[in-house]
Amino acid sequence: MNLSPELADRPARILIVDDERNNRQLLELMLAAEGFQPLSAASGEEALALVAQQPPDVILLDVMMPGIDGYRVAVKIKGNLATKNIPIIMVTALNNRDAKMQALSAGAEDFLTKPIDRAELCMRVRNLARLKAYGDFYEQQTGALTEQATLQSALEESRKEQLRFKDDFLSHVSHELRSPLTAIKQFTRILLGGLAGELNEEQREYQQIVLKNIQQLQSMIDDLLEVTRLETGKLTVELGSVTLSDAVTDAINTLAETARAKGITLSRDLPTDLPSAHADRTRLLQVLIILLDNAVKFTPRGGTVRVRVQLLQENHHFLLFEVCDTGCGVNPDVAERLFERLYQVSEHTQASRKGLGLGLYICKQLVTRQGGHIWMTSEPQNGSTFSFTLPVFSLDRLIAPLIKDGRWPADSVALLTVHFGFRGAPPPGALAAQRMQHARTFVERCLLPDLDLLLPVSRSNAQGEDFFVAVFADDHGTSVLANRIRGQFERSLSLKQADLTLTVFYRMLTPFAREVGSSIDRAVASMAAQLERAIQFQTLPWTSSP
């Protein structure tokens, strides 16, 4: 491509259209002498054919011709997308305003009056030729840019396609790997359980080794899928209020058996007045478990692994989590690289087996997505500390965008409490959690996403779980919503089969705008405080099924 139109390496081609041969010859001579390359046409028809075949750079067009006259030739050339950029100079015998106006309105760029002055002709032709060259140049550039953009979006599309393929491929492979693994694990457990006859001590030991390796393979498949989900944006983080003492206890309990087997002490250090985190409980647990698992793996027998959570000194809106071990430590040079995808500690370690090298990468992605940072500090031979931060939970952060975007008119707000209880004794553990997740999905579906806000605070006790919804509505609107939730519950076979009962009630809160005047921030703070108080002091008149 030319860098500038001045560098055009050929003479400009000028088409002369005139029915009189003498006129044509005269113009040809004048233009050739100036270094242009003249072409000639004796009629409008011939001119149009030539323009279509080899487009000139400038056209000198006589008006009065038999057949198609100059004006109509100009209209045709300017009406064609392929030729409309070719400048036209009308050559008229009449030097009056009407003739000039007619020439311009037919689309000509310029006009000359007969008899033609040589200097004027050459100057006008040269100017228009240069303008045309600039025009072509920019058009080329724009074309190139458009082409580049098209190419880029095609590349992007193909990258996405590749990612989708990889995702599909990995999901498929993982699924297919899990099926035979299921049978292997089943029969290992059958042998270990003595269901096919008692095992002797040696046989039992070997089967335990098989089982341990099955677990490793299983967690590698899980990691693989997790990373695929992270990279294809399928992993969603649902932020809510997370009580940290519970989460840390759950994480420690998960690793308790492994640590005990290795003679490692797991300890926790949490102040009693620690605020809740604004995080995804499952994801936070996942991060803690990966870090604890690593720490236990790299700590020699008899060592200690400690989880500590406290408010971040420098910024009280954040919590600082630390997992410290008394293991072999890591060379500080690789501290950053540890969080890279597929990074594996290459030096000799006491860990018996490497994983896929995805755990810390997953941690970093998950912490980042929850609004925190993760890093590690270590001294070789003195153990390592993995630290990360997460925001402190506050209702302010949650409702501020709603009020600021004007989605909540500052009139009436109610706090709706939806309580799900168990009809009989609550089922322990995973089943209860699954049912409550089901209940939560049910509540979400009953709400209007742009007006009702399901608060990420839920409160559970032995009798069930409360979900809180902040509702913009007056007393009537809120009771309509409460009735709708009850009605939907009546129709939900699966919730009733899960033996859940439902209670819904609400409390109107003081209109906050009037109370605090015009400041949005103060309105947010006041609203958040009211909601928090209402949730905190909510005591339900527990009733059985509605």
Residue 497 touching other proteins (CB under 8 A): yes
Residue 499 touching other proteins (CB under 8 A): yes
In one-letter notation, the amino acid at residue 471 is V
**In the complex with other proteins, which residue's Cβ is closer, 203 or 494?**
494
235, 305, 471, 485: residue in contact with other proteins (rule CB under 8 A) = 235
Residue 316 DSSP code: T
**In the complex with other proteins, which residue's Cβ is closer, 182 or 267?**
182
In whole angstroms, the minimum distance from the beta carbon of 299 to other proteins comes to 25
76, 130, 185, 459: residue in contact with other proteins (rule CB under 8 A) = 185
Please compute, for residue 334, the number of CA atoms within 13 A of its CA located in the half-sphere on the CB side. 13
Cα distance between residue 139 and residue 270, in whole Å: 67
**In the complex with other proteins, which residue's Cβ is closer, 419 or 440?**
440
In whole angstroms, the minimum distance from the beta carbon of 426 to other proteins comes to 9
Residue 178 touching other proteins (CB under 8 A): yes
Q: What are phi and psi of 304, to 5 degrees?
A: -130, 140
Residues 6+ apart with CB under 8 A from 249: 268
Residue 183 touching other proteins (CB under 8 A): yes
How many CB atoms lie under 10 A from the CB of residue 130? 17
Contact 379, 317 (CB under 8 A): no
8, 68, 181, 274: residue in contact with other proteins (rule CB under 8 A) = 181
Residue 118 touching other proteins (CB under 8 A): no
Residues 6+ apart with CB under 8 A from 427: 435
Residue 234 touching other proteins (CB under 8 A): yes
7, 119, 195, 342: residue in contact with other proteins (rule CB under 8 A) = 195
Residue 187 touching other proteins (CB under 8 A): yes
175, 212, 484, 514: residue in contact with other proteins (rule CB under 8 A) = 175
Residue 225 touching other proteins (CB under 8 A): yes
Contact set for other proteins, span 358-417 (CB under 8 A)? none
Q: Exposed, middle or buried by CB within 10 Å (0-12, 13-18, 19+), for 356?
A: middle
**In the complex with other proteins, which residue's Cβ is closer, 100 or 496?**
496
Compose the 41-60 pattern: x for residues touching other proteins by CB under 8 A, - for all others: --------------------
> How far apart, in Å, are the Cα atoms of 259 and each of 74, 254, 360?
90, 10, 20
Count of residues making up the chain: 546
Contact set for other proteins, span 434-473 (CB under 8 A)? 434, 437-438, 441
Residue 494 touching other proteins (CB under 8 A): yes
Do the bridges between strand 464-472 and strand 413-422 make them parallel or antiparallel, or are there none, so unpaired?
antiparallel
SS3 labels along 328-390: CCCCHHHCCHHHCCCCCCCCCCCCCCCCCCCHHHHHHHHHHHCCCCEEEEECCCCCEEEEEEE
Cα distance between residue 247 and residue 238, in whole Å: 15
Under rule CB under 8 A, how many of the chain's residues touch other proteins?
39
**In the complex with other proteins, which residue's Cβ is closer, 81 or 493?**
493
Residue 533 touching other proteins (CB under 8 A): no
Contact 204, 192 (CB under 8 A): yes
In whole angstroms, the minimum distance from the beta carbon of 428 to other proteins comes to 7
> How far apart, in Å, are the Cα atoms of 392 and each of 279, 316, 389?
8, 8, 9
Q: Would you tell me which residues interact with other proteins (CB under 8 A)?
A: 171, 174-176, 178-179, 181-187, 189-190, 193, 195-196, 214, 218, 225, 229, 234-235, 424, 427-431, 434, 437-438, 441, 493-494, 497-499
